[in-house]
Amino acid sequence: MQLTLESSLFRLHCFCFPQGSFSSIMEFASSIGILWMKGTLERNNTKTGIKSSQRIVIKNREALRKLIIFTIIIYDQDNLVVSPCSQKIIFDNHCLAMHTTFKYGKDHLTIGKAIKIATGKQKGILTADTIARIQASQQSVQKIVEDDNTVYGINTGFGILANTKISEADTRTLQYKILQSHSVGVGAPVSVEIAKLMLITKVHALAQGYSGVQLQTLERIIWHIENDVIPVVPEKGSVGASGDLAPLAHLFLPLIGLGEIFIRESETGNEWMRIKSSAALKKFNVNAIQLGPKEGLALINGTQFIVAFAIKAVQRLHNCLEAADIIGAMSLEALTGTKAPFDERLHGLRPFEGNKLVAQRLRLLLDNSAIMQSHIDCGRVQDPYSLRCMPQVHGASRNAWVHLKELTEIELNSVTDNPIIFSSDDTISGGNFHGQPLALPLDYACFAAAEIGNISDRRCYLLLEGKWGLPMLLMRNVGLNSGFMIPQYTTAALVTENKTLCFPASADSIPTSLGQEDHVSMGSISGRKLDKIIDNLEYILAIELLSACQAIEFRQPLKSSAILEFAHEYVRKFVGFAEEDRIFAEDINKVAGIIKDFSFLENVNAFASSRKMELNNNFPAFDV
């Protein structure tokens, strides 16, 4: 019998021999307790497959004993390769699952992989050849010190003090002082996930072997990642050039026993406790590290604060863009709009990829809608722009999103500290730490996210006007009730707040280090602004979704498409139809919750897949 697991990267065929005989794979799967995650089991010729990006989870050890996997065949496009199983079966407190490993400094790091490592779904390791490169680079630094060759940051001061020579005896002390002196961040700490992504991306950059760090330093950072011992990093203080100096200094204070860290309050809980690093090291019975020459500088030079925010922005904005198409389609149905402006021929005449994708999605989302059919000859000539121009507006934001994604993945696999060590005789003091390559697309993405909120607010307003058969303010008995009038006040406020956050931080620069660092990117501010805009956007979309679900019920008994009916029913699991006024903030927060945690999109996509409908088919660039 053959079990097939397909992922977005490759296809695995696991040949399995269960104990006993089974008439079907479903019977076998049931017998050993296999859970099919986020997908449906289906027949595919003589094979049985799961759609992309899925995994097999086996419930317990007893179930595993019934299953023997003796080989894995990996299909790489059309090439058939036979290899030993490269996946590990790991048993933890929750499940027994197949996990792949990521090789720091060697594999290509993507946004999806970084998030998987941060969430414990993938493990990062150092391979033997990577370790050899790390050690060779560290030995080059040591030779520079021993030969007394003057190299910036190894035996000189920093910034404006670059011409101040440091004695060999003080090169180690210098590394401690740079972490201490640059720890000047203020404000609330960044989220644990952002700090963890900073650690992951720093390991990957340093592991490429051009930074001169010790192996034990990288191993300790990986220990922090794997054990969820996450440094406390203040959100403010970086100007995004010479690297994210202040946040990275705070990030690595725990290596030398200083600063603060977050640890889980319990092994299985999601609550975090903030304690002194010295107490944490004592708790885990580990010692502070003795930093070597250049290590402090290698740790704090780099764009890992900026890139961590970019990673989360790509993930979260993608979720909002996908949800916005679904929610916009629901609003269009409630307002009895037409799908004619989404015609493939029209968008072939102006072939921006984002526009074409959104038009395709809207066509599929509205396919076989009884509501659409009911007014096909209604005489309305045009819909307002917020309905008719969704492909152009949503699509433009998607194009901006792709730009951010592509540049973020370049940065993820770059070496961004300074100086770069090619050998003991070949070092370059350059500017790879400068955040401008991400600062600009992050600001561009701010506009893209804000505009999705702007057009969503316009649709909220349209739903309230009492046009085209809908009751004014989406309630029958208004006057005594205010209906959905006031939730739109919130979207108006959030849209305006987003506009104020759209001033491009990268358009400004203030000299630092007495003029040595005379142009800086401010990319860290770009990243934080985008994070706030997406926070607001999630609430705006939640209010439109809440309003669209209310409005579409006034079209009953007519039904929308199967996908949009499912989306409506899913929302109704959390909030009901409003016959009269209530505390709508509670409804807004519930609906925002299913947008923020991706469950709304995941469930709608799963339903679409179960109907053999891939909304983003032929547009791979727009996947995370």
Tokens of 458: 């316009």
Closest CA to 568 of 342, 371, 338, 340: 371
Is the Cβ–Cβ distance between 404 and 441 less than 8 Å? Answer: yes
Backbone angles phi, psi at 412, to 5 degrees: -60, -30
Annotated catalytic residue within 152, 210, 444, 539: 152
Beta bridge partner(s), residue 69: 16
- Give CA separation, 203 vs 230, 433, 508, in Å: 14, 15, 30
Is the Cβ–Cβ distance between 511 and 289 less than 8 Å? Answer: no
Interatomic CA distance for residues 131 and 136, integer angstroms: 9
Which contiguous run of DSSP H or E holds residue 314? Answer: helix 304-334
Pairing of strands 34-36, 47-49: unpaired
Interatomic CA distance for residues 60 and 339, integer angstroms: 49
For tokens 């019934």, what's the residue? 66
Task: Quickly list H helices, 50-94.
Answer: 61-65
Q: How many CB atoms lie within 10 A of CB 567?
A: 28
Which contiguous run of DSSP H or E holds residue 136? Answer: helix 128-147
Interatomic CA distance for residues 288 and 255, integer angstroms: 6
Q: Would residue 152 show up in a list of annotated catalytic residues for this protein?
A: yes
Enumerate residues 6+ apart whose C-beta is below 8 A from 111: 311, 314, 315, 405, 408, 409, 412, 624
Catalytic residues: 152
